[in-house]
Amino acid sequence: MQKDLFLNRHIGPNSETEQKMLDSLGMDSLEQLIDETVPESIRLNAPLKIPSAISEQEYAKHIQELANNNKRFRSFIGQGYYSTYTPLVIQRNVFENPGWYTQYTPYQAEIAQGRLEALLNFQTMVSSLTGLPIANASLLDEGSAAAEAMIMGFNKVSRKAKNKTKFFVDANTLSQTIDVLKTRANPLGIELIIDAVESFTDDEDVFGMLLSYPNAQGEVVDWSEWVNARKEAQDYFMVMATDLLALTLLKSPGSMGVDCAIGNSQRFGVPLGYGGPHAAFFACTEGFKRSIPGRIIGVSKDRHDNTALRMALQTREQHIRRDKATSNICTAQALLAVMASCYAVYHGPEGLQGIAQEIHRKTQRLHAGLNNAGYSIINSQFFDTLSIVVEKDKLSALKARAEAHQINLFYKANEVRLSLDECTTEEELQHLAKIFECNIPEQMPKQPDLPGRSDDILDHEVFHQYRSETAMMRYLKRLENKDLSLMHSMIALGSCTMKLNATIELQAISLPAFNQVHPFVPRNQVNGYYQLIEQLASYLNEITGFDATSFQPNSGAQGEYAGLLSIQAYHRANGQSNRNIVLIP
């Protein structure tokens, strides 16, 4: 037997433990066990047509070859995804640490106190930056969070007014968020109105609306007066899609009077990863505390009067209330929410604001250079994103210059968008200047004032204590040691977490050629990704007997939902829309 095969290292039982199990069952072999438990009629009659097993070393070489097939261009595409620097103290002690990534869902609070504290930090961070009193412990992605907000408002309003079935969406919302809203609205009978905010007129059938701050073009608008006017005209449910890093400088959504704020925490130290996974955030007012989806970490006292953390208000979750759950989402991006919270703990308010100010200053300088060169810039107020009008006859030459510098921008008709981030260097600014054929001034020019914050952020002591790497490392180790993971023992619970992944299987997420790829890069830059996806799909198709596999759903709950929608679409395509009852054992 080849000793270094992957299965011999990572599949638990060896020949001795197998024999002990067989002896306890009174069986002579695994074949006899299968004969007596698996009906002949459902067994395969031929071996699976998948490649032979390989060793860990061979796999490491294979995954590196796939990574090498991706092109590493520098992306300034933005649109909800940004390059970020993961502090190594977080990368090595959380992201790549099995003491964090093999922990199970924290249903047993007494063996999950460290993770619950890190998630409580996440909630505190989100609540502080959004200016809203309640935040959950993360959701799957920004699009899902927007859909959950829409549904939360719909459920509350529709109980009193059955006619209110319309939801208004700012047309300058991120395209992927709009796509998810469309998917989730249709089965519930919600009609989306997607249009420019300026064109909105009060409508008694509209129950709520989603605004973007900043929007997809990078425009920063103080929505305070507009929100107040709409609320006075009619009690609309207001959702705001926003950016946590921008909120370190900008007026908070809560101060503008919205009911809910959602977004992505990715730029707080979580790699791009070709679009995910990333932890979404979700915050709301007190009136929705029993309707908010996901999990909330709460603070309690034990019988010795010591502080103890637990998952609060769990009864609204799917795994307890089942058909009465307020959401089909009973999961979270816990590891990535932990990383984002650690990023905020490590940098603190001054550090985060310093990063945001540096990004904004560079964007201001670039704006001045483009303006001086005669470009028309669509957004007058901005944080990190500029939308530039480029004449059609000059667009192809600009694209060619960008490609020559190995830089990706976002193109839409004759509009070019670019977003700066914390990784933007002075050298890269000069590359952008050459692409747009402009000169960038060294001094920051005077720009229109943004709707800035007047309140302090992140005033809890945890965001002020751990500035040195050593102090942060010790804090992370203290939290890790309060949790049960595979570092300590077997976890005899379900397998819906990363705890069963071998170390070699996680190697790829630390390779820059995989984790520094923006999801909107051109297809020819991600050949390695497509090879990986297509290979895995072919294996799963063979194993399951199906014709195609989708990797789009990023949780079990989302996979089940996607499956139901696929079944519904199939019946509709066959003219059988009347088949709308699902039997669930």
Contacts of 383 (CB under 8 A, 6+ apart): 214, 218, 220, 243, 246, 249, 250, 356, 359, 360, 363, 450
Which of 148-157, 321-330, 473-482 is the least confident region?
A: 321-330
DSSP string for 3-34? TTBHHHHHSS--HHHHHHHHHHHT-S-HHHHH
445 pLDDT exceeds 70?
no
Burial class (CB in 10 A: 0-12, 13-18, 19+), 584: exposed
Give the residue with greater pLDDT, 84 vs 162: 84
pLDDT of residue 316: 46
Residue 273 clears pLDDT 70, i.e. is over it: yes
Instruction: Identify the residue with better confidence: 272 or 313.
Output: 272
Q: pLDDT above 70 covers what percent of the chain?
A: 94
Mean pLDDT over 187-194 rounds to 95
Percent of the chain with pLDDT over 90: 76
- pLDDT of 3 > 80? The answer is no
- Alpha-carbon span 141 to 138, nearest angstrom: 9
pLDDT value of position 497: 55
Evaluate if residue 103 carries a pLDDT over 90: no
What phi-psi label fits residue 228: left (phi over 0), alpha (psi between -120 and 50 degrees) or beta? alpha
Helices (H) and strands (E) in the chain, counts: 19, 15
Residue 271, token pair as written in the block: 């790699």
- Across the range 472-489, mean pLDDT stands at 93
**For residues 285 and 292, is the Cβ–Cβ distance under 8 A?**
no
What DSSP string runs through 329-353?
-----HHHHHHHHHHHHHHHHHHHH
Task: Sort strands 134-135 and 410-412 into parallel, antiparallel or unpaired.
Answer: unpaired
Q: Please report which confidence band the pLDDT of residue 241 belongs to, taking 50, 70 and 90 as the band edges.
A: very high
* Residue in 161, 235, 162, 171 with CA at minimum distance from that of residue 200: 171
pLDDT at 449 over 80: no
Mean pLDDT for the stretch of residues 445-462: 87
For the residues 451-469, what does the mean pLDDT come to?
96
pLDDT tens per residue across span 195-208: 999 999 999 999 99
CA 41 to chain centre: 43
pLDDT in tens, 30-79: 999 999 999 999 998 889 999 988 888 999 999 999 999 999 999 999 99
Strand partners, 191: 166
Q: Order of strands, edge to edge, in the sheet holding 134-135?
A: 134-135, 280-284, 260-264, 237-243, 206-213, 166-170, 191-195
Per-position DSSP letters for 381-408, written without gaps between them: SBSSEEEEE--HHHHHHHHHHHHHTTEE
pLDDT above 70: residue 372: yes
Three-state DSSP class for residue 283: strand
> Residue 209: which of 168, 259, 180 has the closest Cα?
168
Grade residue 441 by pLDDT with cuts at 50, 70 and 90: very high
Mean pLDDT, to the nearest integer, of 250-255? 98
> CA angle at residue 188 from 184 to 192, to 5 degrees?
65
Amino acid at residue number 246: A
Q: Specify the pLDDT at position 60.
A: 93
| Residues across the chain | 585
- Asked whether 131 and 258 are in contact (CB, 8 A), the reply is no
CA distance 39 to 128: 58
Exposure of 271 in the CB half-sphere (CA atoms within 13 A): 17
Task: Return the minimum-mean-pLDDT range out of 154-163, 417-426, 443-452.
Answer: 443-452
pLDDT at 315: 45
Determine the Cα–Cα distance for residues 79 and 84; give it in Å rounded to an integer.
Answer: 14
For the chain, the average pLDDT equals 92
Q: What angle do CA 462, 464, 467 make, to 5 degrees?
A: 110
251 or 109, greater pLDDT? 251
Write the CB contacts of 204 (distance below 8 Å, at least 6 apart in sequence).
163, 164, 234
- Long-range pairs for 388-396: beta carbons < 8 A, 24 or more residues apart: 388/415, 388/416, 388/417, 388/418, 388/436, 389/414, 389/415, 390/414, 390/415, 390/416
Condensed to tens digits (0 to 9), the pLDDT of residues 486-510 reads: 888 877 766 555 557 788 888 999 9
For 521-538, how does the pLDDT look when each residue is reduced to its tens digit (9 = 90+)? Answer: 999 999 999 999 999 999
Given this model, what pLDDT does residue 270 score? 98
Beta bridge mates, 261: 240, 283
Confidence of residue 330 (pLDDT cuts 50, 70, 90): low
User: Is beta strand 166-170 parallel, antiparallel or unpaired with respect to 191-195?
Assistant: parallel
Q: Is the pLDDT of residue 1 over 60?
A: no
- Quick one: which of 8, 323, 279, 334 has its CA closest to 144? 279
